[in-house]
Structure 1
Amino acid sequence: MSGLEHLSERDRAVLRSIFDPTATIGDVADDGDQFVDDDEDSTEADKEAAVLFREGVRLAEGGDLENALQTMNRGVEMAPQRAGGYNDRAQLLRLMKRDDDAMKDLDRVLDLTKGKRTKSRALALCQRGVVLRARGSDDDARAAFTEAAKLGSGFAKKQVVELNPYAALCNQMLSQVLRGEKDIQIQL
């Protein structure tokens, strides 16, 4: 017996967050929310668009970015309400160094998923955060990552911690104290 059997799940989450600076309480203390499947293949157009997006991803992975973009454009035209397609195309546009165009697709995803707890929304927020962070807009990036973290994105949770220098400093100091280090070295 470890002596920790009496702790609640939340207490265990707090302990984990102390020992793992990149963990958040939400990593352990799940509130039971699940992502909504926002891209159901309910119509023929949806099914055909899904095939085009998969083909576009395959082409992009093979380095044929222009044909991948043309294929994904056809998918978006075929199923303009399919949020996941805009996410896929935004990722491709980012690979092509077309961040402004990617941001337009991410905005479209966020419009399509407004008020929903969807995987597409979380992915769009993460991509948005990455672009904003690369542009030096850390406050806006933090806001995007924070919303994605609330939706359950582990990647976003880690980015929120990374973007919070005070939390990182506190975690560093606490880890050193718990390891019993006598001379605490603060690294900024």
Structure 2
Amino acid sequence: GERQWMAGRPRTDGGQEMTLIEVDDSFFEVTGDDIRALEEARKRREADRQAFKTRKVREREREERLSRFADCAVRVVFPDQTWIQARFLSSEALSDVYAFARSALADPARPFLLFTTPPRKNLPDTHDTQLKNTDLLPAANVHCCWASPPAGVGPFMAFRFIQSIEDGEKQRQEQEQTQGG
């Protein structure tokens, strides 16, 4: 079937994205348990520094760590800060992310690039690179821009996705009004 997706954009209504909580001063007091945990962490870091690892060992450890992730969430962020997100199997290729991003573009025929930051690293549109062999696991923001100038001029996202965002915002506003009023 079709890939499940979500789309959105930053809130412009001044709504708070974060909730701040009040804590009393006891929260900041250091306890004996805190000191023991810090000392154990320091000893682990020191032991890790002592252990010289070959590139092959580091690669095997990385593969073991990443093998726990069967899939990954990729959010494609457009220059106007609208975004679309979906889950991909870690065995899928970068070309699958490109195909997904292309399906969301207002002009799917126009050449575009996907990249990660910082520092900027272009992602190749290739079948040869599986997601598990990239730095995108377990989740990543991937930026999109046009391959040829003007790179930052939109519209970027197809109307059906913009409509979905606007419907979601309208629904959220109605919920906030009924809960707050």
For the pair shown, the structure with the greater C-alpha radius of gyration is 2
Higher strand share: 2
Higher helix share: 1
**TM-score, normalization by structure 2:** 0.25
TM-score normalized with structure 1 length:
0.24
Q: 1 or 2 for the larger relative contact order (CA 8 Å, sep ≥6)? A: 2
